[in-house]
Amino acid sequence: MDGDCSSLLPAVCLVLADPKQTPPDDTSLEKLLDWFKDLHSQSNGQVLLEHQPCLLEFISSVCASKATDPAILSFTLKLTGLLAASKQDFHLLEEGGHLVCVFEREAWSVCDLWEDASVRSGWIQGLLNMLKHQQALDFICRQGLIKVILQLQNDRSLFVACLANQLLVQILKLLTPSDVTSGSDAVVSSKSSSSLDWVSVSSEITNAVVEALSSENHPQVLQGVQLLSLVLSQCEEPIRSSLWKDVLPPLEVLINRGSEPLTQPLMTVLRAAVMTPLLGQSEYKVEEFLEVMLGTGNRKEGILCATLIVKLEKCPKVLKRKAMDIILLPLQCVSTQSQDEKEVDLVLKEPLSQKALCISLLVQSLSSLAELAHKEYFEGVCIPSVTSRVVQLLRVCSGHCTSSLLHVSACTHLIGSCKIQRCGLDTLGALSVYEDNLDLRKDIFGVLLDYLKSPDSHATVLKKTFQAVLRWIGVCASFPDLLQFISNDLFPVLEKRMCDVRWEVRDSTLEFITQLTVALSDNSGFVEVLYTSGLVSILLSLLSDTEGYVRASAVTAVGEAVTSSVQQMALVSKINLLEEALAQMMIILSQDTEGFPRRAVVKTFTSWLKGSNPITALDSSLSSVLSLGGNDFDWEVKMHTLELAEALMEKMLTCCPYAVQSFSSSERTRLTQSLSKLKDLGLFDVLLNGLFDCDRPVCEKSCQLLLKLKRLNAEKADFDHDALVLKACGNRWGDEVQSRFLNKQQVKASEHVLIGGGEGTEKDLHCIKEIPLSVILQILDLDDMQRMLKLSSDHVVNSPRSLMEDILSAAQQSEENIVDCY
């Protein structure tokens, strides 16, 4: 803790402990705790309480006061726990009786403070903070706090109940020998020294879990199940298996009962259990439970369970097979041919006849398939058949229902269901990883095209369709019929979609075109198709769309189209795309009221500049882009402009890499020419204006680029400085540089006067309309500026000192600012 903070802390403690003061704003106390947490982690065994006795006084006075605000009490509980996390501070607190005083639950009940959820949660968090060593555990047990914690497990506040579960898990972890013996701060291995009967502590918790699972009260069962999941996923042996053994009978009852509200939490337990060595040991019945869960309860959970089983490494094949069948069943039911009717009908007739259930089953089945497809978990499943079913289902959803389908009633539920459409399209996209499916590409593209064409397709569905199309195009790139599909089928639909009334659709279409162009940019056939279609002219027209998002996406799409056309040089002469694009982009940069399109324009220029094929036509616009972008009121446009400047510098100055030691005269001339060209483009004005910008990131970037220049300048000191004189007047940066220049001049002059020199500073004031770049770079103490910029924290000051000053000044402010909010 630095000196400033140590001197402020006592006053802060006094303010916080004063019951007449309203507590500071809700974030201040949390931030103060964050600071103590940092202090604790950096303390290296230092005893905080010894150096800061005000903290002990603070804790005592809060304990003694009956009028403490719940927020302050909660803070004190957490703070005490945090301090007691180190053994030395723990002893100090215990010796002074502070620990008992703070964590004695009864004390807070007397003044009704316990009724406040923030106090209960502070109490648990305090104990959690403290529980870093065995003595803390000892304290909790000795004070009989386990009972209170178990009660809080069923608290009416969700937050408190969850915290109580975490605390119980933490206690059990500390009881686990592996934890006891390992870990630096933790714990002495010989439990025998402790006066406590550890077995009784763990069995108290275990009994509570068993009791909860056997209870008829649903919330209590739920908390028990949640604790069990936490123990399984966080605790080690032997706690894990001993708890599992004890809970097996009631757990078995619960699982066999198949109560619907519990299936999800029970699944969480099983999910945690399969990650442990409990799986594979028949006496622990994990596989048995999984099998029961597959068949009982609501079928959606059955599918979830099946997904879990399919992903298991160690699992009997028969069970995996069964699980896969369960995942596929809903899909089979709605897309099967009539001859299988009887078999399927029996199982899912009822769920599929109810709309909500039917949709939720199919959604679960499809998302499970997508999840498994991503990781290629399908074993022994005919992938093309699954894919065909997904395609068929998507057809049903878009209203193309064929009469041979089984569940006509189910089909009516599915028509137009966005939920299933979105899920189905995700799944279809995911299935593109299987080569076996390539023969189905006609069907797949067919159904995707139907979705793109359909006027009823929801914007979110269209977005998913685009994603699926992109994935399939990616894997079908080598097929000769792909280009035919793109030009004859896809492009006409895209042209239509680019004129959709919904901006969401227009934007998604443009994003898709950009991605498609990037993916197929080296395919000359594609570029030809792109330019012979009417797509490009619509792209250009969308540069003046009413929606800013769309204009920005159009800029990016046009940018990519230009890049691809440049790569295929032959086409460029046929069209004046670049010319038209440049003209419109300049209008956007100078006139657009929204930041996105302007940002997109500058980014596009940067990507053109960085491209492997130079676009000579850019040169005439670069100076305008730099000037407009550098003077934009959106700091991100300015940042992108600086990135453009950086790219420009890289490109023009790379002929003379900075590290090269010796220069030939021709290279020197070239460097001078390059620099003077950069000057003509206005690049230095952008950098210097950026240096004095009101937004820190802009200053930082400008400073970094100017430093680069300075280094170059220093290394190649002999190039022609006169060619690089900048006009200081009329530029924003001019005033700053001038005043710094004058300051230096004055210092020099005064030195001169002292030595006996003459006057003349007044005269100099009017003489510095033009300053050489090299002088500017010298005047500006760029290294110092960069250091300062790195130090600055943007005025949302995060330092503990500022935080404490804020708390103190808020306390002095008598007038309460009425609660307000944006």
Q: Which is nearer to other proteins, 133 or 463 (CB)?
A: 463
CB of 717 to other proteins, least distance (A): 30
User: Cis (ω within 30 of 0) for the bond into 238?
Assistant: yes
Per-residue HEC secondary structure of 298-364 comes to CHHHHHHHHHHHHHCCCCCHHHHHHHHHHHHHHHHHHHCCHHHHHHHHHHHHHHHHCHHHHHHHHHH
Identified binder of other proteins from the candidate list 596, 684, 733, 741, rule CB under 8 A: 596
228 touching other proteins, by CB under 8 A: no
Q: Which is nearer to other proteins, 567 or 802 (CB)?
A: 802
Q: If you write DSSP's letter for every residue of 691-728 in order, what string do you get? A: HT-SSHHHHHHHHHHHHHHHHHHHHTTTS-GGG-EEE-
45 secondary structure, DSSP code = T
Candidates 205, 201, 118, 194; CA nearest to 155 is 118
Scanning 369-377, 442-450, 633-641, 715-723 for contacts with other proteins by CB under 8 A, the matching segment is 633-641
Identified binder of other proteins from the candidate list 633, 722, 758, 759, rule CB under 8 A: 633
124 touching other proteins, by CB under 8 A: no
Please give the size of the binding site for other proteins, defined by CB under 8 A.
68
Q: Which is nearer to other proteins, 158 or 569 (CB)?
A: 158
Q: Which is nearer to other proteins, 191 or 419 (CB)?
A: 419
**Measured between alpha carbons, how far is 382 from 682 in angstroms, rounded to an integer?**
64
Cα distance from N-terminal residue to C-terminal residue, the chain: 36
Identified binder of other proteins from the candidate list 37, 732, 740, 752, rule CB under 8 A: 732
Q: How far is CA 248 from the centre of its chain?
A: 39
**Measured between alpha carbons, how far is 625 from 641 in angstroms, rounded to an integer?**
8
162 touching other proteins, by CB under 8 A: yes
Identified binder of other proteins from the candidate list 17, 31, 85, 93, rule CB under 8 A: 31
Identified binder of other proteins from the candidate list 160, 324, 486, 777, rule CB under 8 A: 160
Q: Which is nearer to other proteins, 26 or 185 (CB)?
A: 26
606 touching other proteins, by CB under 8 A: no
Identified binder of other proteins from the candidate list 46, 143, 157, 621, rule CB under 8 A: 157
CB of 474 to other proteins, least distance (A): 21
Q: How far is CA 26 from the centre of its chain?
A: 25
Identified binder of other proteins from the candidate list 695, 715, 736, 764, rule CB under 8 A: 695
* 640 contacts 605 by C-beta, under 8 angstroms: no
CB of 117 to other proteins, least distance (A): 5
Q: Per CB under 8 A, which of residues 261..280 are in contact with other proteins?
A: 268
793 touching other proteins, by CB under 8 A: yes
217 touching other proteins, by CB under 8 A: no
500 touching other proteins, by CB under 8 A: no
CB of 508 to other proteins, least distance (A): 7
CA-to-CA separations, 386 to 289, 380, 398, 428, 515, in angstroms, rounded: 28, 12, 19, 10, 28
CB of 373 to other proteins, least distance (A): 18
**Taking the C-alpha atoms of 5, 11, 16 and 21 in order, what is their torsion angle to the nearest 10 degrees?**
-140
Q: Which is nearer to other proteins, 755 or 791 (CB)?
A: 791
30 touching other proteins, by CB under 8 A: yes
**Measured between alpha carbons, how far is 245 from 227 in angstroms, rounded to an integer?**
15
Q: Tokens 């497990």 — which residue? A: 153
Identified binder of other proteins from the candidate list 356, 501, 659, 755, rule CB under 8 A: 356
Q: Which is nearer to other proteins, 115 or 341 (CB)?
A: 115
CA-to-CA separations, 13 to 31, 40, 122, 287, in angstroms, rounded: 15, 18, 18, 57
508 touching other proteins, by CB under 8 A: yes
CB of 641 to other proteins, least distance (A): 16
Q: Per CB under 8 A, which of residues 271..330 are in contact with other proteins?
A: none
Q: Which is nearer to other proteins, 158 or 754 (CB)?
A: 158
CB of 734 to other proteins, least distance (A): 11
740 touching other proteins, by CB under 8 A: no
Q: Please, which residues have CB within 8 angstroms of residue 798's CB and are 6 or more apart in sequence?
A: none
821 is in an annotated binding site: yes
CA-to-CA separations, 750 to 284, 760, 774, 781, in angstroms, rounded: 90, 11, 24, 21
> Which run of H or E residues covers position 421?
helix 418-430
115 secondary structure, DSSP code = G
Per-residue tokens: 163: 């915290």
Scanning 7-15, 87-95, 151-159, 773-781 for contacts with other proteins by CB under 8 A, the matching segment is 151-159
Per-residue HEC secondary structure of 53-86 comes to HHHHHHHHHHHHCCCCCHHHHHHHHHHHHHHCCC
813 touching other proteins, by CB under 8 A: yes
Identified binder of other proteins from the candidate list 485, 549, 719, 733, rule CB under 8 A: 549
In DSSP terms, 772 is beta-bridged to: 725
Q: Angle at the Cα of 612 (from 606 to 613), degrees rounded to 5?
A: 95
**Measured between alpha carbons, how far is 323 from 787 in angstroms, rounded to an integer?**
61
Q: Which is nearer to other proteins, 89 or 547 (CB)?
A: 547
Q: How many residues does the chain have?
A: 822
Q: Which is nearer to other proteins, 89 or 632 (CB)?
A: 632
Q: 267 in helix, strand or coil?
A: helix
Scanning 245-253, 504-512, 646-654, 660-668 for contacts with other proteins by CB under 8 A, the matching segment is 504-512
118 touching other proteins, by CB under 8 A: yes
Per-residue tokens: 337: 């041919």
Per-residue HEC secondary structure of 445-485 comes to HHHHHHHHHCCCCCHHHHHHHHHHHHHHHHHHCCCCHHHHH
CA-to-CA separations, 413 to 363, 417, 421, 585, in angstroms, rounded: 13, 7, 12, 48
363 touching other proteins, by CB under 8 A: yes
Q: Which is nearer to other proteins, 48 or 306 (CB)?
A: 306
158 touching other proteins, by CB under 8 A: yes
In DSSP terms, 770 is beta-bridged to: 727
Radius of gyration of the chain, Cα coordinates, nearest whole angstrom: 36
Identified binder of other proteins from the candidate list 10, 159, 252, 311, rule CB under 8 A: 159
Scanning 35-43, 280-288, 400-408, 629-637 for contacts with other proteins by CB under 8 A, the matching segment is 629-637
Scanning 354-362, 476-484, 647-655, 657-665 for contacts with other proteins by CB under 8 A, the matching segment is 354-362
Determine whether 88 is exposed, middle or buried from the number of CB atoms within 10 Å of its CB (0-12, 13-18, 19+).
middle
Identified binder of other proteins from the candidate list 408, 694, 717, 767, rule CB under 8 A: 694
Candidates 655, 697, 649, 701; CA nearest to 675 is 649
704 touching other proteins, by CB under 8 A: no
**Measured between alpha carbons, how far is 407 from 445 in angstroms, rounded to an integer?**
25
CB of 794 to other proteins, least distance (A): 5
504 touching other proteins, by CB under 8 A: yes
797 touching other proteins, by CB under 8 A: yes
* 723 contacts 669 by C-beta, under 8 angstroms: no
* 414 contacts 334 by C-beta, under 8 angstroms: yes
Q: Per CB under 8 A, which of residues 414..433 are in contact with other proteins?
A: 422
Q: Which is nearer to other proteins, 93 or 494 (CB)?
A: 494
CB of 790 to other proteins, least distance (A): 9
Q: Which is nearer to other proteins, 238 or 595 (CB)?
A: 595
Known binding-site residues for Zn(2+) equal: 821
In the complex, the residues that contact other proteins under the rule CB under 8 A are: 24-28, 30-31, 116-118, 156-160, 162, 268, 355-356, 360, 363-364, 422, 459-460, 463, 504, 507-508, 548-549, 593-596, 633-636, 694-697, 732, 788-789, 791-798, 802-803, 805-806, 809-810, 812-813, 817-822
Known binding-site residues equal: 821
